[in-house]
């Protein structure tokens, strides 16, 4: 009998066809946030109906914003303006979404009301001091468990002052949290990062009429009297979701897959660079822009992959794609080394340890390091049973691994895929994958 919330993927002969992936998760969150604090009616098309983005919608509804859905991907946000947010009558539940809790921490710090945020078991283990610390330098009043390090977080809104924050990590969540707090503060707010993280907040702030300057790794906004105006946002396909299909089409022989309308913002497209360095056949066509965001169609055909080193500035450009890259690496010729990626330890799971443990269950040997992982190539993936540990990217990585395995791979806690790629099963099946 099939165990509940368990799903199996089988070895595949080829993957073929044209497909699309759901809207970008980072951009969908930001469209709800900026739509809510702008004045007027924002229309969002190709919104990601993943659980994380639905949590962001739920939080803003509780803050008094009227958000309606024409369909699950077409959303109308009736913006209330920055001053129009209301004190929520209950706790805001961010579910599994680190982006929601960290970005909202910044925004809620500058209000004139009290709010409390919490989330699932994974969220309540992830570090929140990385945003609490800079926000407190701006005057924010934030409390949480373990001396403020862990959610639930309670925030007493207050008047904020500008800072120039030198972030110790390249994190778009830290940067965006400070910038969203900065909108309230009178003066210039600056964030400098060691290397540039994804810049969707900066691009969307500009689109909504915000005053922003970017010079190298430093972003400056002028806060205080900012008024943002409603926009029509077309969300590009999520490159982090497309990554599973890119690796799948690369490793399954005789495959040819065209993924249409994918966001290829250079701060996110490290997966393409890494796979190309591994000898993948990837071509970008039909390059254009949705607003400020670059978009392209991505054609992937099977190839003989080789190992590579993934490090330095490349890491923030593909941080969420490391689990799926490890599947490609296990099958490639030669060793692959991932380093400078300590951030992987504080995602939905410790993605270094969990990948190491789960890879072993399907016969793949890897060596976890404090800041990365090493994996020898030319390994055979056996069948087996793995646990996603409720981490969407782990679950999908092993679904792709099964396509070239000796036998089926059973994935426990498969439901996690709904966090970022709710129709993953349907998209894979349409390309020729078999699952049950």
Ligand X SMILES: C=C(OP(=O)(O)O)C(=O)O
Ligand Y SMILES: O=C(O)C1=C[C@@H](OP(=O)(O)O)[C@@H](O)[C@H](O)C1
Please tell me whether residue 242 binds ligand Y under the rule CB under 6 A: no
Residues forming the annotated binding site?
A: 25-26, 30, 98, 126, 171, 173, 320, 347, 351, 393
- Closer CB to ligand X, residue 193 or residue 320? 320
115 binds, among ligand X, ligand Y, none (CB under 5 to 8 A by kind): none
Closest C-alpha to 355, from 339, 340, 374: 374
Please tell me whether residue 387 binds ligand Y under the rule CB under 6 A: no
321 binds, among ligand Y, ligand X, none (CB under 5 to 8 A by kind): none
Please tell me whether residue 99 binds ligand Y under the rule CB under 6 A: yes
What CA–CA distance (Å, rounded) separates 96 from 55?
Answer: 8
Please tell me whether residue 99 binds ligand X under the rule CB under 6 A: yes
User: Is the CB of residue 245 less than 8 Å from the CB of residue 16?
Assistant: no
Give the list of residues 6+ apart from residue 373 with CB closer than 8 angstroms, or none: 322, 326, 338, 341, 352, 355, 356, 366, 367
Structure tokens at 250: 């690369």
- Please select the residue that binds ligand X; options are 19, 55, 97, 250, rule is CB under 6 A: 97
143 φψ region: left (φ > 0), alpha (ψ -120 to 50), beta (else): beta
Q: How many residues bind ligand X (CB under 6 A)?
A: 9
Query: Which one of 159-167, 170-178, 261-269, 278-286 is the stretch in contact with ligand Y (CB under 6 A)?
Result: 170-178
Query: Which one of 70-78, 167-175, 263-271, 426-434 is the stretch in contact with ligand Y (CB under 6 A)?
Result: 167-175
Please tell me whether residue 393 binds ligand X under the rule CB under 6 A: yes
Please tell me whether residue 190 binds ligand X under the rule CB under 6 A: no
- Please select the residue that binds ligand X; options are 347, 356, 390, 418, rule is CB under 6 A: 347
Please tell me whether residue 349 binds ligand Y under the rule CB under 6 A: no
343 binds, among ligand Y, ligand X, none (CB under 5 to 8 A by kind): ligand Y
176 binds, among ligand Y, ligand X, none (CB under 5 to 8 A by kind): ligand Y
Structure tokens at 240: 């982090």
- Please select the residue that binds ligand X; options are 24, 297, 348, 358, rule is CB under 6 A: 348
Residues forming the annotated binding site for phosphoenolpyruvate?
A: 25, 98, 126, 173, 351, 393
> Cβ 50 to ligand Y, closest distance in Å?
11
- Closer CB to ligand Y, residue 206 or residue 406? 206
Q: How far apart are the first and last CA of the chain?
A: 12
Alpha helices in 369-434 (DSSP H): 392-402, 424-430
171 binds, among ligand Y, ligand X, none (CB under 5 to 8 A by kind): ligand Y
What CA–CA distance (Å, rounded) separates 254 from 427?
Answer: 18
Tell me 419's DSSP state. Answer: G
- Residue 369, judged by CB atoms within 10 A of its CB (0-12, 13-18, 19+), counts as middle
> Cβ 97 to ligand X, closest distance in Å?
5
Q: How many residues bind ligand Y (CB under 6 A)?
A: 11
User: Which residues carry out catalysis?
Assistant: 320
Q: What mask of x and - would describe binding to ligand X in positions 307 to 326, judged by CB under 6 A?
A: -------------x------
Q: How far is CA 272 from CA 241, 284, 319, 385, in A?
A: 13, 10, 13, 29
Please tell me whether residue 173 binds ligand Y under the rule CB under 6 A: yes
Please tell me whether residue 104 binds ligand Y under the rule CB under 6 A: no
Cis peptide before 304 (omega within 30 of 0): no
Give the list of residues 6+ apart from residue 257 with CB closer than 8 angstroms, or none: 15, 16, 17, 18, 19, 245, 248, 249, 299, 300, 301, 431
- Please select the residue that binds ligand X; options are 191, 420, 421, 428, rule is CB under 6 A: 420
CA dihedral 159, 164, 169, 170 (to 10 degrees): 100
**What residue has token string 């190309």?**
276
Tell me whether strands 6-9 and 16-20 are parallel, antiparallel or unpaired.
Answer: unpaired
Please tell me whether residue 269 binds ligand Y under the rule CB under 6 A: no
389 binds, among ligand Y, ligand X, none (CB under 5 to 8 A by kind): none
Q: What mask of x and - would describe binding to ligand Y in positions 106 to 145, judged by CB under 6 A?
A: ----------------------------------------
What CA–CA distance (Å, rounded) separates 17 from 301?
Answer: 11
What CA–CA distance (Å, rounded) separates 431 from 399?
Answer: 13
Structure tokens at 187: 């003066």
Binding site for ligand X (CB under 6 A): 52, 97-99, 320, 347-348, 393, 420
Give residues in contact with ligand Y (CB under 6 A).
26, 99, 171-173, 176, 197-198, 319-320, 343
């Amino acid at each position: 009998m099939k165990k509940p919330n368990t799903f199996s993927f089988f070895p595949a002969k080829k993957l073929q066809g044209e497909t699309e992936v759901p809207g970008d998760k980072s951009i969908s969150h930001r469209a709800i946030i900026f739509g809510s604090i702008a004045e007027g009616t924002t229309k969002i098309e190709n919104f990601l109906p993943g659980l994380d983005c639905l949590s962001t919608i739920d939080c803003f509804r509780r803050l008094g914003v009227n958000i309606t859905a024409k369909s699950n991907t077409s959303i109308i946000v009736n913006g209330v303006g920055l001053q129009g947010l209301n004190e929520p009558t209950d706790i805001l539940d961010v579910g599994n979404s680190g982006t929601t809790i960290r970005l909202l921490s910044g925004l809620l710090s500058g209000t004139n009301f009290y709010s409390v945020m919490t989330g699932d078991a994974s969220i309540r283990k992830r570090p929140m001091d990385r945003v609490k610390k800079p926000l407190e330098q701006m005057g924010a009043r934030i409390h949480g468990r373990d001396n403020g390090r862990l959610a639930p977080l309670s925030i007493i809104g207050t008047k904020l002052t500008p800072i120039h924050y030198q972030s110790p990590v390249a994190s778009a969540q830290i940067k965006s949290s400070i910038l969203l707090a900065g909108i309230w503060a009178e003066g210039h707010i600056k964030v400098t990062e060691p290397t540039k993280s994804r810049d969707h907040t900066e691009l969307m702030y500009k689109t909504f009429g915000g005053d922003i300057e970017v010079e190298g790794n430093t972003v400056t906004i002028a806060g205080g009297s900012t008024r943002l105006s409603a926009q029509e946002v077309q969300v590009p396909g999520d490159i982090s979701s497309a990554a599973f299909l890119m690796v799948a089409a690369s490793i399954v022989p005789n495959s040819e897959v065209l993924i249409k309308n994918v966001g290829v913002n250079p701060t996110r497209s490290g997966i393409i660079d890494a796979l190309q360095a591994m000898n993948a056949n990837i071509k970008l066509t039909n390059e254009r822009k949705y607003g400020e965001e670059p978009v392209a169609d991505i054609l992937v055909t099977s190839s003989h992959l080789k190992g590579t080193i993934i490090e330095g500035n490349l890491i923030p450009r593909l941080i969420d794609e490391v689990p799926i890259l490890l599947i490609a690496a296990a099958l490639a010729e030669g060793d692959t080394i991932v380093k400078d990626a300590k951030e992987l330890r504080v995602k939905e799971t410790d993605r270094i340890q969990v990948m190491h443990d789960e890879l072993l269950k399907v016969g793949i040997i890897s060596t976890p390091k404090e800041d990365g992982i090493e994996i020898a190539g030319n390994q055979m993936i056996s069948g087996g049973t793995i646990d996603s540990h409720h981490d969407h990217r782990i679950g999908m990585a092993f679904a792709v691994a099964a396509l070239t395995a000796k036998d089926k791979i059973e994935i426990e806690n498969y439901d996690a895929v709904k966090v970022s790629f709710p129709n993953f099963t349907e998209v894979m099946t349409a390309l020729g994958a078999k699952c049950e």
